[in-house]
Chain A
Amino acid sequence: MRGAKSAKWVAGAIVVALAATACGGGDNSAGDDMNKGKADPNGIVTAQLSEPQNPLQPANAKESQGSRVLRTIFAGLVDYEPGTGKLEYVNAESVTPNKDASEWTVKLKPGWKFHDGTPVTAKSYVDSWNWSANIKNNQTNSSWFADIVGFEDVHPEKGEPKSDKMSGLKVVDDNTFTVKLTQPVSYFAYKLGYDVWAPLPEAFFKDPKAFGEKPVGNGPYKFVSWEHNKLIKVRKFADYQGPNKAKNGGIDFKNYTTADAAYSDLRSDNVDWIEQVPTTALTSYKTDLGDRAIDQPYSAVQSIVPAFYTKQFKDIDPKVIQGLSMAIDRQTITKTVLQGTRTPADSYVAPGVLGYKKGALGDIVKFDPAQAKKLIQEGGGVPGNKIQIQYNADQDHKPWVDAVCNSIRKSTGVECTGDPKPTFQADLDARDNDQVKSMYRGGWVLDYPVNSNFMRDLYGSTAAGNTSGYSNKEFDKLSSEADKASSIDETVKLYQQAEQLLAKDMPAIPLWFYKVNSGQSKNILGKIEYGQDGDPIFDTIQVKQK
């Protein structure tokens, strides 16, 4: 009898809990109209952020968190039109190449000021680049300056730098400077949109360390405060001269420890924008948030990469890799396992980038078990009839790796297993030291929206991003030709040719393109606009008047 009694009590408790959840459940969804109401030009946007890894210096922000803040504080020379990747001038009036694109002249818009009132001049840029490239200053992004003549003097591979200035940089007058490159790069202007090229005020050089804690920029927002692990505040800079004046009063970047915590706050309107809906809420977030749910592509690609230094792939017939690619049911995996958070890849280059060609890889990325089997057979089969896919287990990769393996196993009979490494660091270690046993997971988010970024920087024989040991002289030749082309259109076309070359050679199997799965609070007017790196364009966000 006692057992029966306590069971009843437990059942009662469950009923209470269910009732409690049910009564709150209904009114969380859409309901209000996010396009109705008036904008408050001084309204503050709150956004999710994790603690930036490095001090807030433009050349030091390799990871997305620091960049997210820096991009609001600094205005670069150029920016890109979201969606098309077209170049737009911000602080620059013009960036023009000489005939063979080996020397560039940058003209600045006059009258710009840093937030501390000092003028933004050609010297602000040249000094900034020289300092950031110098190996003594340990800026993580210093290799971005490697195109400039004199880079080895400030950044030698070994030993002390010979100079603290790159000879390729010359100040012509207050608003003009020239950049000499070691070899022609037709899309050099496009590279200039990256954070690393931002100007620095005089005050920076007096005390770089203090500056990293309290940066002074030239952008639409000025820095206010940084409470570590908690909050970074930036506010609208009233005297901003650029085209992207802030439509809100400022941004509070709030720190969250988990995606679940951030999502909880979003649902109760304590934060206006979060980075990513937690995996646990992916199936329900669209009903939870209604119109306020965000599901938008950005320019990044995930692939699996054969390690060409292994016995298995050393002299492989590319047909085998093509076959493996055709054995993967991208459509189904993105829809079910990844719950629509990715779209199947159809090229090496992500959409939204200059030179992306829809369906560039043709049938190679179509799911066709019969053809897959045939190609693998024609190519002499997979050595050992077994592949492994290495990934880092500290992120959510296991489900899709298992699904990809399953798909390969079922359609071709090739044995496939995941090879998890405990952390991302361990994963990278194995890749750098050529210890990958078979294949590894690769990912790439754009640096600048030209197709070269998705090819030369990953598959060029000497490219730093090339960790698979892939090398093809013909591809190298074609890409250097493309870099020297007289116009950007020409470059893009030549790289499209190079992509066809890669399709024959298969240095990697592209799987899918990324999407932002996020949401916005009820405080925001209209839908948040996104840039191609998957981050919101903060200056365009409007806050509803209360």
Chain B
Amino acid sequence: MGRYAARRLLQMIPIFIGTTLLIFLMVHILPGDPVRAIYGDKAPDPAQIAQIKREYGFDKPVLEQYVHYMWNLLQGDFGKNLAGRPVTELMAEAFPVTLRLTLLAITIEIIIGVGLGAWAGLRAGRAADTGVLVFTLTVISIPVFVLGFIARFIFADELGWLPPNVQDSTDFAQLFLPAFVLAMLSMAYVARLTRTTFAENLRADYMRTALAKGLPRRRIIGVHLLRNSLIPVVTFVGTDVGGFIGGAVITEGIFNIQGVGNLLYRAIQTSEGSTVTGVVTVLVLVILLINLLIDLLYAVLDPRIRYA
């Protein structure tokens, strides 16, 4: 298993270089000159623009900029944005916020999703199962931004139960509504996935054996059935973590959360290359590591899986 992990880590290097180069190139073909845009409708000063471009190295060829960027990156320097603030600082502000939101969303996703799925799976074909099916299909078919706006409109604007915006991202009570909205879609998928594997494994041989041994029902479901049914769910939740961190743009926008999604969105709007590349670089790393973690988790859940 150690060798497997090491090999996976080594494989990350070319993937990492490939993705960052792609992103770097993509940012550079975004239309519009970010330096010129600082001036808006008003008079640009060519001498000033040339000076700023020189300072940021924008006057050099793209590949040279990339090599320079990677060299700095190896030393932990992510560069600075056009306001002169280090990108590491921007990320240090945004990542904890999104991490909190993501953790809360994942918790909600797992508790409700697995719970609902298990409940439906154990009653496959009965009314409860159909009810869960209808509910999850409804949730899946509503776009996130619609859900977000409706949730905020009803619970915050009209009923006044919850604050409409997140003022303090360390307050989990304020984060609850956005986290719930963020979790809704995946929660529905988790429920569907759990339900199917539960219903399937319920008829497996080892279940019959466990039942014949006279094990208590709680142990059969809690240990034998749940553990064996979790593999696809863990895979799904794992890939979701990366998705949440990068894809919270809509939820963060609606609920005024200054997280990664927002940072990325603003950076793309202003063609702020160094910020986009920096954030995506970190996201690439996070997603690669999480995928490795999931693969390693399989062995824990099912000892038959061995790594060469």
B258 and A230 contact, CB distance less than 8 A: yes
> Is A173's CB within 8 Å of the partner chain B?
no
B31 x A143 contact (CB < 8 A): no
B256 within 8 A of A: yes
Q: Do residues B32 and A258 form an inter-chain contact, with CB atoms below 8 A?
A: no
**In the bound complex, do residue A53 and residue B83 qualify as a contact, i.e. CB atoms below 8 Å apart?**
yes
B247: min CB distance to chain A, Å: 15
A62-B40, A256-B165, A465-B42 known; A156-B47 Cβ under 8 A:
yes
**Beta-carbon contacts under 8 Å, A421-478 to B:** 421-429, 432, 442-444, 447, 457, 463-465
The answer for the CA separation of A157 and B157 in the assembled complex, in Å, is 54
**CA A281 to CA B94, docked complex, whole Å:** 30
B45 near A464: Cβ-Cβ < 8 Å:
yes
A18 to chain B, nearest CB (A): 10
Report if A138-B47 is in contact (Cβ < 8 Å); known contacts: A55-B83, A62-B38: no
Question: Per-residue CB proximity of B259-272 to A under 8 Å, as 1/0?
Answer: 00011001001110
Cβ A228 vs Cβ B93 within 8 A: yes
Most chain B CB inside 10 Å of its own CB: which residue of A212, A257, A422, A443: A257
Query: Which residue, B154, B165, B252, has most C-beta atoms of chain A within 10 A?
Result: B165
CB distance from B181 to the nearest CB of A (A): 14
| A31 contacts chain B at the CB level, 8 A cutoff | no
Asked if A55 meets B51 with Cβ closer than 8 Å, knowing A20-B159, A264-B164, A394-B269, the reply is no
Task: Assess the A142–B45 pair: CB atoms within 8 A.
Answer: yes
Of A21, A229, A262, A457, the contact of B258 (CB 8 Å cutoff): A229
Flag if A261 contacts B254 (CB, 8 Å). Answer: yes
Chain A residues near B253 (CB-CB < 8 A): 257-258, 261
Q: Tell me if B85 and A24 are in contact (CB < 8 A).
A: no
Q: List the B side residues contacting A54 at CB < 8 Å.
A: 38, 83-84
Instruction: Report the bound CA distance from A427 to B37 in whole Å.
Output: 10
Q: B256's closest neighbor in chain A, by CB?
A: A261
Tell whether A202 is near chain B: CB-to-CB under 8 Å: no
Say whether B36 faces chain A, with CB atoms less than 8 Å apart.
Answer: yes
Which residues, 16 to 53 on A, are CB-close (under 8 Å) to B?
17, 20-21, 23-25, 51-53
* Interface size, A (range): 35 or more
* A55 touching B158, Cβ below 8 Å: no
Q: Does B46 sit at the interface, judged by CB under 8 A?
A: yes
Q: A135-B51, A270-B163 are in contact. Are A62 and B39 (CB under 8 A)?
A: yes
Does B64 count as interface, using CB distance less than 8 angstroms? no
Cα distance A276–B160 when bound, in Å?
A: 23
Q: Are A425 and B40 in contact (CB under 8 A)?
A: no
Binary A-proximity of B109-140 (CB < 8 A = 1, otherwise 0): 00000000000000000000000001000000
CA distance A165 to B33 in the complex (A): 31
CB distance from A444 to the nearest CB of B (A): 6
Residues on A with beta carbons closer than 8 Å to the beta carbon of B44: 432, 464
Q: Which residues of B contact A427 (CB under 8 A)?
A: 32
Closest to B263 in A: A229
Please name all residues of chain A whose beta carbon is closer than 8 Å to the beta carbon of B36 when the two chains form the complex.
425, 428-429, 432
Report the bound CA distance from A495 to B85 in whole Å. 43
A4 to chain B minimum Cβ distance, whole angstroms, is 14
The residues in B between 147 and 201 inclusive whose CB is less than 8 angstroms from any CB of A are 149-150, 152-154, 156-160, 163-165, 167
Interface pair B85/A140, CB less than 8 Å apart: no
User: 8 Å CB contacts to A: which residues of B41-55?
Assistant: 41-48, 51-52, 55
B30, B45, B271: most-surrounded residue (chain A CB, <10 A): B45
Q: Does B233 contact A (CB under 8 A)?
A: no
A265 within 8 A of B: yes
Known: A270-B167, A422-B31, A426-B31. A155 touches B47 (CB 8 A): yes
> Do residues B153 and A21 form an inter-chain contact, with CB atoms below 8 A?
yes
Given contact pairs A423-B31, A464-B44, A268 touches B158 in the complex (Cβ within 8 A) = no
Q: Cβ of A20 and Cβ of B40 under 8 Å apart?
A: no
- Tell me whether A260 is interfacial, beta carbon within 8 Å: yes
Task: Let me know if A209 is at the binding interface, CB within 8 A.
Answer: yes
Out of B34, B38, B84, B263, name the residue touching A55 (CB < 8 Å): B84
Interface centre among A17, A423, A457 (most CB of B within 10 A): A423
B-facing residues in A109-139 (Cβ within 8 Å): 135-136, 138
Could you give, for residues 226-243 of chain A, a 1 whenever the CB lies within 8 Å of some chain B CB and a 0 otherwise? 001110000000000000
B43 touches A463 (CB 8 A): yes
The reply to whether the CB of A493 lies closer than 8 angstroms to some CB of chain B is no
The residue in chain A whose Cβ has the minimal distance to the Cβ of B168 is A230
* CA of A426 to CA of B33, assembled, Å: 7
Q: Which residues of the partner chain A approach B262 to less than 8 Å between Cβ atoms?
A: 229, 257
Min C-beta distance of A406 to chain B, whole Å: 25
Known interface pairs A62-B42, A228-B85. Does A258 touch B51 (Cβ–Cβ under 8 Å)?
Answer: no
| B82 interface contact, C-beta 8 A | yes
Contacting residues, chain A, for B37 (C-beta < 8 A):
424-425, 428
Complex interface: chain A residues within 8 A of B258 (CB): 229-230, 255, 257
Secondary structure dominating the interface of A: mixed
Q: Is the CB of B46 within 8 A of A465?
A: no
Contact between A425 and B158, CB atoms less than 8 A apart? no
Asked if A138 contacts B160 (CB within 8 A), the reply is no
| Bound form: Cα–Cα A423–B267 in Å | 13
CB contact between A63 and one of B40, B43, B153 (< 8 Å): that residue: B40
B24 within 8 A of A: no
Inter-chain CA distance A52–B84, complex, in Å, is 12
Contact A442 B41 (CB under 8 A): yes
Measured CA separation A425–B40 after assembly (Å) = 8
In the complex, whether A8 has a CB less than 8 A from a CB of chain B is no
B95 contacts partner chain A, Cβ-Cβ < 8 Å: no
Q: A425-B32, A465-B41 are in contact. Are A24 and B48 (CB under 8 A)?
A: no
* Residues of B with C-beta under 8 A to A63: 38, 40
Residues of the B chain whose Cβ atoms lie less than 8 Å from the Cβ of A254: 167
Evaluate contact between B55 and A138: CB separation under 8 angstroms.
Answer: yes
Question: What is the bound-complex CA distance between A265 and B51, given in angstroms?
Answer: 41
Q: How far is the CA of A425 from the CA of B269 in the complex (A)?
A: 9
Q: Which residues of A contact B150 (CB under 8 A)?
A: 17
The distance from the CB of B251 to the nearest CB of chain A, in whole angstroms, is 11
Contacts of B83 in A (CB 8 A): 52-55
* A23: chain B residues within 8 A (beta carbon): 158
A267 within 8 A of B: yes
Q: Which residue of A lies closest to B55 (CB)?
A: A138
Q: Is the Cβ of A268 less than 8 Å from the Cβ of B256? A: no
Shortest Cβ gap from B268 to chain A (Å) = 9
**Is the C-beta of A158 less than 8 angstroms from some C-beta in chain B?**
yes
Report A204 CB to chain B, min CB distance, Å.
16
Interface residues of B in 248-306 (CB under 8 A from A): 252-258, 262-263, 266, 269-271
- Please, how many angstroms separate the alpha-carbon atoms of A324 and B35 in the complex? 34
Contacts of B271 in A (CB 8 A): 423, 425
Using CB atoms, name the residue of chain B closest to A9: B134
- Residues from chain A with a CB closer than 8 A to the CB of B94 are 229
The one of B31, B134, B149, B252 that contacts A429, using a Cβ cutoff of 8 Å: B31
- B43 near A429 with CB under 8 A, answer no
- The answer to whether A24 touches B158 (Cβ under 8 A) is yes
Q: Can you list the 8 inter-chain pairs with the closest CB atoms, starting with the nearest?
A: A425-B32, A464-B43, A24-B158, A426-B31, A264-B164, A261-B256, A426-B32, A229-B258
Knowing that A257-B256, A261-B256, A464-B42 are A-B contacts, what are 6 other residue pairs whose CB atoms are under 8 Å apart, sorted by A's residue number? A260-B254, A261-B255, A268-B156, A270-B164, A429-B36, A465-B42
Please name 14 pairs of A and B residues whose Cβ atoms are closer than 8 Å in the assembled complex, sorted by A: A17-B154, A54-B38, A140-B39, A209-B84, A229-B263, A257-B253, A257-B262, A258-B256, A261-B165, A422-B31, A428-B33, A428-B39, A444-B41, A447-B42
